[in-house]
Amino acid sequence: MPVEGGSSSGSASAARHPKQKRKAHSLSIRRSNSIEDRPPGFQRGDMLEGQDSKLPPSLRNNLLDLFGQIEREFENLYIENVELRREIDSLNERLTGDGQTIEGGDPTKGALKTKASHSTSQLSQKLKTTYKASTSKIVSSFKATAGSRALCQLLKEYVGHRDGIWDLSITRTQPVVLGTASADHSALLWSIETGKCLLRYAGHAGSVNSIKFHPTEQMALTASGDQTAHIWRYMVQLPAPQPPPDVSAPCDDDQDSSDREEGEVDGEGPCEVPTVRLATATLKSHQGVVIAADWLVGGRQVVTASWDRAANLYEVETSELVHALTGHDQELTHCCTHPTQRLVVTSSRDTTFRLWDFRDPSIHSVNVFQGHTDTVTSAVFTVGDNVVSGSDDRTVKVWDLKNMRSPIATIRTDSAVNRISVSANQRIIALPHDNRQVRLFDMSGVRLARLPRSNRMGHRRMVCCTAWNEENQSCNLFSCGFDRQAIGWNINIPALLQEK
């Protein structure tokens, strides 16, 4: 803190004054240790006479008593320490003397020395083994991340959007391509093997927040900030595959990659690609941002989730509104449909997610799942009877549809969780985080791996979404983030489960 130049001498004297007072206190306490040295009728308060103190005499006497007790305890410890040092010195002298005698000649003492030396070496070896075992446990926790490099390897980077990518999805029909939805008002389709952009959809007037593909046809469903959802057709032709990039060089996962500038990306964006601007169908019954949309099983109906606190069910062929799913108290954040049943789950900022059942056309039941303490960012179905929910409260919970009272597993993390995904075959949960990490867990909540992240690979901003693409033993995981790129990862599932 700056001070005025005229008061420097006064402040220096004031700084010296407390030091003199502390020194006087220490001298008084030292004199109070010896009771027999005190004159008759001596009071503890007399030791501080003449000193400038505003403490009452009774409080000063209590402080002196306490300081005296502390000093006596230290004296006792010091005496015990001195005695122990003397014993150690005498033992060392005896050992030294025994060693000199054994070297001179008594064979019986030589045998004793050999036995003692053997027992000493055994003790030393035991201590070394224990130390190595304890340290190996600590080191193994650091090696878990390094080992994940062999389990999760970079496949391809998809660079071309001019703003953050909110969502991504994989086509369910041939040819298999990657779709990304971005805040730059566009959705792009990519070749997974080459990383080349194949098609651009530019029919929205706002941020494209979600993209999902039809289960059997070459159709895409996108949700946007322009308060609409679009259904549009696409036709793409895959280019010839290229050799995979060399990612064998080791990477430092602990090295921060935030030194790159905002929006800086590697590679070039997509060149002139075919562009689709007209939608086959436009769904526009919402009064707010449409944050997500998905196809119901069969692909004849779609569901949309909006910031107007409602989810709408539409007929694809007529674009008519069938049901308005209301009940959430705040904005919706995500919606997801069951892969084989007419079930819909919606998540909201009201810390809950709801299960909507359309299996019976005459009854539309709803169940409310409560368990999070902050915004539920996503809730997705698994192949079985489970729902996995992620939240800004830094937890992921696994629920049983037959028992909605409490989760069967809870995963606690160090950062908010965004749109999660669960692999259909292996039931592995991929967690995208605000802190740029992507972690893998099993359904019981056991952590399996963390995707590598360094200056050479990984996301440089918040990871918004993940999506799986499984083909036999080959399994790919895709992630996208607000660093304007999507990344494909090759996940070695057998090695991952063996590591577990």
The pLDDT value recorded for residue 301 is 96
Pick the closest to residue 303 from 324, 317, 318 (CA basis).
324
Distance CA 45, CA 53 (A): 11
* Spans in the chain with pLDDT lower than 50: 1-37, 41-42, 44-45, 48, 101-116, 131-149, 247-269
The pLDDT value recorded for residue 364 is 77
Contacts of 104 (CB under 8 A, 6+ apart): none
Distance CA 461, CA 214 (A): 30
Distance CA 280, CA 333 (A): 25
- 94 backbone dihedrals φ, ψ, rounded to 5°: -65, -40
- One CATH from 3.40.50.1000, 2.60.40.10, 2.130.10.10, 2.10.70.10 for 152-239+247-499: 2.130.10.10
Distance CA 439, CA 296 (A): 28
Task: Give the tokens for residue 179.
Answer: 């779709």
Total Cβ atoms within 10 A of residue 443: 18
Please check whether residue 465 is in contact with residue 167, taking contact to mean a CB–CB distance below 8 angstroms: yes
CA distances from 321 to 88, 228, 340 (A): 90, 13, 22
Distance CA 493, CA 428 (A): 9
The pLDDT value recorded for residue 10 is 46
Please check whether residue 399 is in contact with residue 369, taking contact to mean a CB–CB distance below 8 angstroms: yes
| DSSP β-bridge partners for residue 165 | 182
The pLDDT value recorded for residue 31 is 38
Token look-up 């033992």 returns 91
Please check whether residue 166 is in contact with residue 183, taking contact to mean a CB–CB distance below 8 angstroms: yes
Q: Give me the residue spans of the domains in the chain.
A: 152-239+247-499
Task: Give the tokens for residue 268.
Answer: 């070039």
Q: What's the farthest any 2 CA atoms get from each other in the chain?
A: 109
The pLDDT value recorded for residue 318 is 95
CA angle 451, 452, 457 (to 5 degrees): 120
